[in-house]
Structure 1
């Protein structure tokens, strides 16, 4: 299955490099580009996509606000942030805006391509250093931890088990093996977890699980 990709970055050389690197990579086709977050809706109207690879710091609409706008669209594509910036505020802000992942531009091309394919399949994607820092950040959350635990209390026992596995970064197949469930059953539980927690994607589930200290 082909993954349609839109690249968003204010640097024309970066966009050209990403297109050269990713267009034609296994299962990926670059269908559009944007130089600013404010241009993304028009690009998606003209070129429907499965994944948006999003820079953060742009002169007009930044990547966090652009991610929020993309995720508010009907049947939105997944958004994966690709940036040189990794402050705690930006990481958490992007994930709360609905990003399915957060990568740094110094990652190997093959890892970026794999992350695009994973995001298209609904899997969360975080650079290893980002994942460790995110866990440290949410561990200090205080009131946020209480709110996260209260949110998880809305789940059934099996849904909570699935949510915890998502928080550990497990794929649907891995969750099925560990909990002795079929993949379709896992997908049904994931959908129910998203609705009950009021979140948009698995990465936000993982964020809540980490905040609650449940992983």
Structure 2
């Protein structure tokens, strides 16, 4: 669909187009509210199943008022609207997170990633959504780390981890990533793992 046609159909509020990673929006807004967002995503799923570039950097990823990222201070009078972007370090918890998932979530917060509960099903239904916001898993973790680390030198990566994480955090990351199997890794994932200053020696990948 041409960009002009889409713009004519959907005029997002100015606040949703500023490029903020996350904004708080009145839950009971007269027009741009949860039913409106649900209808927007119905349209997106139907008309834009293979390409979301027209909507990148707009705040259209919403969480219900009861779904808050860890440490959020927002009230139930607002909804959290996240930017559709691959570069803000956003990751969704599984619908039923394990103890390991919850533990690694706290480590990711220290590294300034945004951990959120799963988005509504109508958003998760889109086949491209995990390219922007992966679900927390070994591969999902590597995905957000790759996006972050590609802008860092090795020295900055080392400094970031040593400054923000303690030895226990490093151990949790090491144990979490060590579960990954060789066949799940491509060259970019292997390179990402080699950059992480959490392994004492060369990284050894478990064979299945």
Q: Same fold (TM over 0.5)?
A: no
The answer to which structure has the higher helix fraction is 1
Which structure has the larger Rg over C-alpha atoms? 2
Higher RCO, 1 or 2 (CA under 8 Å, sep at least 6)? 2
TM-score by length of 2: 0.33
TM-score under structure 1 normalisation? 0.32
